[in-house]
Amino acid sequence: MIGAIAGGVGAFKYTGNSFSVNITTNPTGLTWGGGFFWVVDSTNRVVRRYTAAGAYDNFFFDVSDEANSPVTITFDGTNLRVLDSGSIEIYEYTTAGTYTGVHFRVWENSNARGIGWDGTHFWMVSNEVGVVNKFYEYTSTGSYTGSSYSANSVQQTPASIDSHNGNLWIVGSAEDAARRYTLDGSDTGESFSVAAESQLPSDLASKDGDIWVLDQINKTVYQYSK
């Protein structure tokens, strides 16, 4: 939501369009890349592929050899990256589902929950009860840049992070809302609610100017547009 006050004119709103991912036992992660949506099934430790129209196309790949607790995913323009919350490692896979052997650890917070890619840097957001959580910046090769920023105090339970139109969006699972931050960590004060559609938002993805939000309980991906 660029240049708009939360809930006001120009704010992101639910379009009425959604698609089900109910073949996925425990959907916790979502990204868009390579012409497809990708959904992490944390329980079965696989990543499932959906078309742009939201249809499951029967393709999935297993990440269990690397990740015991995969929670979220992002696309770096070439490959997919999966965060394992147990080892706090991020693993790289081709869009054909092959593990490349590339991985890095996000040591900075053991409560790593979400990851995103802004075209230059990776971002990780933590989810720790009772504190103001942070989001951390990493180079394309996985080195921590030394930059971290506090999420707004209203976002007590960040679920994930992603970039959209040169900004960062963090979706909160308890607040049922997504909030916008600049790439230098400034809270813009802009947000939009997903509470009417979502019971437990777990991730978000940017596609063609819109933001799509995954709900873990409803097993549904919802489209929001300006």
pTM as predicted: 0.93
In the chain, how long is the greatest CA-to-CA distance?
Answer: 47
What count of other Cβ atoms lies within 10 Å of the Cβ of residue 117? Answer: 20
Task: Per-residue pLDDT tens, the chain, 226 aa: give them.
Answer: 222 334 443 589 999 999 999 999 999 999 999 999 999 999 999 999 999 999 999 999 999 999 999 999 999 999 999 999 999 999 999 999 999 999 999 989 889 999 999 999 999 999 877 777 899 999 999 999 999 999 876 677 889 999 999 999 999 887 899 999 999 999 999 999 999 999 999 999 999 999 999 999 999 999 999 9
Q: How far apart are CA 117 and CA 94, in angstroms?
A: 16
DSSP letter at 151 equals: P
